[in-house]
Amino acid sequence: MPITLIAGLGNPGSRYVDTRHNAGFWFLDQLAQQANESFRNNDKFYGDICKINSCWLLKPNTFMNLSGKSIAALANFYKIPAEQILVIHDELDFPVGTIRLKKGGGDGLHNGLKDIIAKLGSRNFLRLRIGIGHPGHSSKVTNYVLNKPTIDDQIAIDHVINSALKEMPLIMAGELNQAMQVLHSLNLP
């Protein structure tokens, strides 16, 4: 089943542009740039949108923990089922330089995913999870995700984003198994 909505998660505003939590935004910015498209604000969908062929790209302006409001607004308006939605987000539980594609699942204690599941009423959307590493203790997570990665971590994250961008035609066409084989075998640069 082809993907008709790709949502990248992050926080709006210049304070958060370079923070780990914005890995989903980084990915979508690169995807749009490759297609020579630009995002424009859309108040109806609470985010910035553009379109590549028949697929919407969405960067919610609702802040991470309320991402579902934006995604559900666009999905409901265009009658896009959860199975045709791909959410791209940072993943604390994966080492930096790891990227994984997954069908469905829980929220993994990710507040953005928790809100999306609640607002869509479904867990059956795809997730592209970009590893950002873990600070070691739960008390350090908020500060960690809301700060810039180290130079080495940024290089590793950029590497997996660039590699995953090459697989987007397969993912967007719904050829997930083939894309997973490539993505799940990526190594650090």
- Residues ≥6 apart with Cβ < 8 Å to 129: 89, 90, 91, 94, 99, 100, 101, 102
Q: Are 169 and 34 in contact (CB under 8 A)?
A: no
Q: Establish whether 21 is a catalytic residue.
A: yes
Give the DSSP letter of residue 116: H
Closest CA relative to residue 68, chosen from 46, 90, 93, 48: 46
Please list the residues that pair with 55 across neighbouring strands: 52
Active-site residue identified among 21, 134, 137, 159: 21
- Residues ≥6 apart with Cβ < 8 Å to 188: 96, 97, 156, 159
**Positions marked catalytic:** 21
